[in-house]
Amino acid sequence: MPPSSSSVPVVQPANSRFRCIACGDLSDHATQNFRCARCGDLLEITYPHWQEAKPDASDLKSVWRKRRLSLSAVDLSGVWRFRELLPAIENDPEVVTLHEGNTPLYELPQCAHITGVPRLFAKHQGMNPTGSFKDTGMTVAATFARRAGFRWVACASTGNTSASMAAYAARGGMRSLVLVPDGKISWSKLSQALDYGAVTCQLRTDFDGCLRLLQELVLRAPVYQLNSINPFRLEGQKTIALELLEQLDWQVPDHIIVPGGNLGNSSALGKALLEMREVGLISHLPKLSVIQAEGANALVRTLREAKGERLVSVQAETRATAIRIGNPASWKKAARVLEATGGACEQVSEIEIAQAKAEIGAEGIGCEPASAVTLAGLKTLVQRRFVKPDETVVLVLTGNLLKDPDFTIDFHRGELFKGAEGASRAVERLRRPPIVLDATLDAVIQILEQAEKS
C-alpha cells in the first residue's frame, strides 16, 4: 500500500501523458487529487505519439470489428475493445472488467412521433453491468488503481458512481469507501454499494459537500479517488461515443444529447468526438448538447450569466437525484466541448422530466429520471429550432429504470407532484397506477374492459 502522502505518483501508462486543461503543463505523473501541480486545475489524458503516427482509421475499424468475435476478456469488454484510443495496459489479465459497454442503440418510434424527429435513437447506458454509464469509466480507472498498488479506492456520489466503484473494486480485489449525501440517493443505488462490500458513509451534507471532503481525504489518506475528476474515468467513458458511432456505421448523427450533473460524461463524449475526428474515424462533429434539471442548472447559468468564464454554482434541488449537483467539477471541460461541437445547454422542469421518463418507459425501454432530461431537453431544442425535424438525434440514457423505483411508483400513484400546481393532463394520461382488487374473474374482466375503452 502506498504511504499516506499527496506526493505519491499515480501509475502512468506508457503511451500517454497528463495535461492541465488550464495552463497546458504536461506531466508523466499525477498526484492523488488529480490536480495540476502548477495551477491546481483539472488534468486530462493526452496521446503525444499521435503527433508522429496517428492510428489508422480504417485499421482501427477493422480491428475493432474483428474483436467482436473474440472470447478473451479484454475483447468482450465494450470498453477495452477500443483500447487503441485508451491508456495502454501492459498485459490483458491486469484489466478489471465486468464486460461493460456493449450497450444497445434503440430506435424510439413513439418518442420520435411526440417530438416530430423521426430519426431518434437511444444509446442505453443503463444496460451496463451495474446499470449505469459509470461502468465504462470505472473499468479503466479501477484497472489503473490496482496497477498503482492501491488497496483502497473512494468516491463521492449521488449513487451510480458508488455502485459502480464498489463493484469494480470488489472484482479487482480492492476495498472501497463511499461518501454519499444522507437521504438523497435512491435505495437501489445504496443497496448496490452495500452488497458489493463498500464501506458506505452517509454524510449529512449534499453531493458537493461529499466531493469537497473526498478531495481533502485523498491528500491525507492512501486512497485512490474514482470520481470523474480522475481522467482515467473519462477515457473509459469516451468509448460510449466510439461504440455509438460504430453502431451507426460511422455515419455521424446531427445531435447527441446527454444529461449534465458533475459534467464528466459530457466532457468524455466531447473528447471522444474530437479524437475521432483527429484520427479520421469521422469527418465532422455532431453537436453535443447538455441538459440539466432546472433546480440543478449550474452549467446553464454559467454559460448564460458568466459566458462560460467562471462557474455559477447553485444550491441543487431535483427529484432526479443522480444530477442533484450544484458545483460541477468538470464545468470547464464541458463548456469547451459544447463550444467545439456547437452544442446547446438547456434546462428542463421536474414535470417535464417525469413526463419524458414515462414516455421512454412506454417504449418498453425505461430509464432513471436523470436520463429522461435528454428527451425533455430535445422537446425544448426542437421548439427553439436548434434541432430540425430531418436531423438524426441520439439521446444518451445514462441509467436503468430500476435504479430509482420510488420515483416511478410515486409518479404512477400520482404522488410525485401531490399538491403542486401544473401537473398537466399530458402527465396524467401517462400514469398507470396499480389497481387493488378482489381476486375474482369478474373484477379483472371489468378492469380489462375499462382499460380497452380508455
126 to 105, 132, 323, 402: CA distances (angstroms): 11, 4, 15, 9
Stretch that binds ligand F0G, among 42-50, 158-166, 170-178, 412-420 (CB under 6 A): 158-166
Stretch that binds ligand F0G, among 16-24, 103-111, 302-310, 363-371 (CB under 6 A): 363-371
DSSP state, 11?
Answer: P
- Contacts (CB under 6 A) with ligand F0G, residues 402-421: none
Nearest approach in angstroms of CB 398 to ligand F0G is 3
Kindly tell me which residue out of 77, 143, 157, 374 binds ligand F0G, with binding defined by CB under 6 A: 157
Radius of gyration, CA atoms only, the chain: 22
How many other β-carbons are positioned within 10 Å of the β-carbon of residue 182? Answer: 12
> Per-residue string for binding with ligand F0G, 34-73, x by CB under 6 A?
----------------------------------------
Residue 261 interacts with ligand F0G (CB under 6 A)? yes
- Cell numbers for 49, please give them: 505519439
Give me the helix-helix angle, 134-147 and 160-171, nearest 10°: 40
Residue 129 interacts with ligand F0G (CB under 6 A)? no
Residue 321 interacts with ligand F0G (CB under 6 A)? no
Nearest approach in angstroms of CB 324 to ligand F0G is 9
**Where do the DSSP E strands lie in 64-132?**
105-107, 120-124
- Using the Cα atoms of residue 405, residue 407, residue 412 and residue 415 in order, give the sign of their dihedral: positive
Under 8 Å between Cβ of 224 and 145: yes
Nearest approach in angstroms of CB 8 to ligand F0G is 24
Question: Of 17 and 233, which CB lies nearer to ligand F0G in the complex structure?
Answer: 233
Residue 228 interacts with ligand F0G (CB under 6 A)? yes
Question: Of 76 and 338, which CB lies nearer to ligand F0G in the complex structure?
Answer: 338
Residue 135 interacts with ligand F0G (CB under 6 A)? no
Under 8 Å between Cβ of 55 and 40: no
Kindly tell me which residue out of 159, 231, 236, 377 binds ligand F0G, with binding defined by CB under 6 A: 159
199 to 4, 132, 161: CA distances (angstroms): 19, 21, 14
Kindly tell me which residue out of 136, 200, 239, 265 binds ligand F0G, with binding defined by CB under 6 A: 265
Kindly tell me which residue out of 160, 215, 225, 374 binds ligand F0G, with binding defined by CB under 6 A: 160
Residue 399 interacts with ligand F0G (CB under 6 A)? yes
- Cell numbers for 61, please give them: 475499424
Which residue has 454499494 as its cell numbers?
Answer: 193
Question: Of 242 and 298, which CB lies nearer to ligand F0G in the complex structure?
Answer: 298
Residue 115 interacts with ligand F0G (CB under 6 A)? no
Stretch that binds ligand F0G, among 254-262, 384-392, 423-431, 435-443 (CB under 6 A): 254-262
Burial call 135-174: b when 16+ CB within 10 Å, e when fewer: bbbbbbbbbbbbbeebebbbbbbbbbbbbbbbbbbbbbeb
Stretch that binds ligand F0G, among 74-82, 145-153, 259-267, 345-353 (CB under 6 A): 259-267
Question: Of 268 and 427, which CB lies nearer to ligand F0G in the complex structure?
Answer: 268
Question: Of 155 and 382, which CB lies nearer to ligand F0G in the complex structure?
Answer: 155
Strands 345-348 and 223-225, by their bridges, are: unpaired
Interface with ligand F0G (CB under 6 A), residue total 22
**What are the phi and psi torsion angles at 412 (to 5°)?**
-70, -30
Q: Which of 48, 3, 5 is nearest to 24 (CA)?
A: 48
Q: How far apart are CA 55 and CA 66, in angstroms?
A: 17
Question: Of 86 and 155, which CB lies nearer to ligand F0G in the complex structure?
Answer: 155
Give me the residues that bind ligand F0G (CB under 6 A), please. 132, 157-161, 228, 259-266, 322-323, 368, 370-371, 398-399
